[in-house]
Amino acid sequence: MGKLQKKMAISLGMMLLIAFNIGLWSYLAREYRTYDTVQDSGVVMAASPSEAESPAALAEAKKGEQTSPVRSDDVRIVVSAAGDVTLGMDESFSYARSFPQEVQRSGYDYFVKNIRPIFTKDDLTMVNLEGTLTNATAKAQKTFRFKGKPDYATILVRGGIDAVNVANNHSHDYLQRGFNDTLTALQKYKVGYFGYTKAYTKTIKGVTVGVLGYEGWKNDQGLRDQIKRDIIALRKQGVKIVVVNFHWGIERSYAPNATQQALGKWAIDAGADLIVGHHPHVVQGIQEYKGKYIVYSLGNFMFGGNQNPSDKDTFIFQQAFHLMDGKLTAQKEIAVLPMSVSSVPVRNNYQPTPLSGKEAMRVWNKIQTASKPLGSLDWKQIQQTHLP
């Protein structure tokens, strides 16, 4: 081999070695994120990584990354939603028959034994977490302030609940520390959360579902702009199904107000696939809008905020989403499961229970009656038993 050929061979070898090292270091430096983050009122909390990001920022971070592969055949994703969950009480309540007393007397599994068989069979379960999980003592100046011990978060896990909404009027009952403590407890027990600027995502069977949560007291432009930005950001991340939760409406009202109806429809127009509502503490109707569903209020569920509510009716809403070649189809598969917040009629024992017989039909008819003013809904296509 001549000198020129030797020099060319040496140069080529050095180039290959440099390219290999660059590729190796690039691989080792890659960051794998879970994106469990929240930003609220100027204070940032993050589960992982240490830097919190909004849904829009996450979309930028995801650019160029390969999304999870979607199967080419039919994929079925079952999503369940239930109402207000308060794991604790207001300190002014009597300890007798309170949620904390029931924890001490019966243990964690007691609360979820009648709902676990439902929630462990679906693909994603969400509820509204109405209160705090904290040992903080400084509290907001308001009538009711709910809190429970941080380890009460294990009840959610034991019940098969995947994620909770934290955008509501009780998430800051114990101020910013109480809110931060709540997120820390959820992170510790690996419960997802969403609300305000925090989106929750879960990839199921190769399909990514995204969940958002907002306080929907006013139908103002700022809120609408945020919702639209967040939905677009999720879509850019490869999210195929978007569920939007609203904490909205008027307490103890059985009919959605104009703000609820306007916001719910607007969110669907902005790209949401399902709207879930809570706050009134009673059930409201369901509306079909452009082939998608708005569940205005699911009522209470596992609610330590009232030891004996006069209306114990509630329900679980389930929808099976079908995707073909990575795209949602128009196939409708819906279930409305009549429930009571308690397994006994004389008080609230904080044990949500499926109803049967005449009681189930009474609650079914109640939801159906509340839905009639909202437009036609084919109740013959809606199941009363949980989706398989």
Pairing of strands 241-247, 274-278: parallel
Distant-in-sequence, close-in-space partners of 222: CB < 8 Å, separation ≥ 6: none
Q: What is the mean pLDDT of the chain?
A: 87
pLDDT digits (tens, 9 = 90+) for 187-239: 999 999 999 999 999 999 999 999 999 999 999 999 999 999 999 999 999 99
The pLDDT, as a whole number, for residue 73 is 76
Q: Where are the domains of the chain?
A: 1-30, 74-383
pLDDT at 60 over 50: no
User: Cα separations (Å) of 241 from 65, 117, 200, 319, 328?
Assistant: 19, 24, 12, 11, 8
Q: Could you tell me the pLDDT band of residue 388, with boundaries at 50, 70 and 90?
A: confident
More confident residue, 281 or 52: 281
What is the spatial distance between Cα 286 and Cα 371, in angstroms, rounded to a whole number? 5
Contact 165, 129 (CB under 8 A): yes
In the DSSP assignment, the letter for residue 68 is: P
Mean pLDDT lowest for which of 33-47, 73-87, 253-267, 278-292?
A: 33-47
pLDDT at 159 over 50: yes
User: Structure tokens of 322?
Assistant: 């079908």
- Percentage with pLDDT > 70 across the chain: 81
Q: Which residue has the higher pLDDT, 70 or 43?
A: 70
What is the CA 54 to chain-centroid distance, rounded?
16
Question: Which pLDDT does position 376 carry in this prediction?
Answer: 81
Determine the Cα–Cα distance for residues 209 and 123; give it in Å rounded to an integer: 10
Strand, coil or helix: what is 199?
coil
Domain 74-383: state its class.
Answer: alpha beta
Q: Which helix (H) or strand (E) holds 278?
A: strand 274-278
Residue 15: pLDDT over 80:
no
The token duo for 90 is: 């207001």
Beta bridge partners of 124: 79
Cα–Cα distances (Å) from 275 to 80, 163, 243, 260, in that order, read 12, 15, 6, 10
Over the stretch 147-156, which tens digit does the pLDDT of each residue have? Answer: 999 999 999 9
Whether the per-residue pLDDT at 23 is higher than 70: the answer is: no
- At 180 the pLDDT is 98
Res 67 pLDDT > 50: no
Q: Which of 243, 360, 350 is nearest to 301 (CA)?
A: 350
pLDDT for 127-143, tens place per residue? 999 999 999 999 999 99
pLDDT at 2: 53
- Distance, CA of 227 to CA of 289 (rounded, Å): 18
Greater pLDDT, 308 or 332? 308
pLDDT at 303 over 90: yes
Residues 133, 182 contacting (CB under 8 angstroms):
yes
Using 50, 70 and 90 to split pLDDT, how confident is the model at 4? very low
Q: Check residue 11 and give its pLDDT.
A: 54
Kindly compute the dihedral angle of the four CA atoms of residues 319, 325, 330, 331, in this order, to the nearest 10 degrees: -50
Q: What does the buried/exposed string (b/e) look like for 190-211 if buried means 16 or more CB atoms within 10 Å of the residue's CB?
A: ebbbbbbbbbbbbebeebbbbb
Spatial CB neighbours of 44, under 8 Å, sequence gap ≥ 6: 37, 38, 52
Cα–Cα distance measured from residue 388 to residue 386, given in angstroms and rounded to the nearest whole number: 6
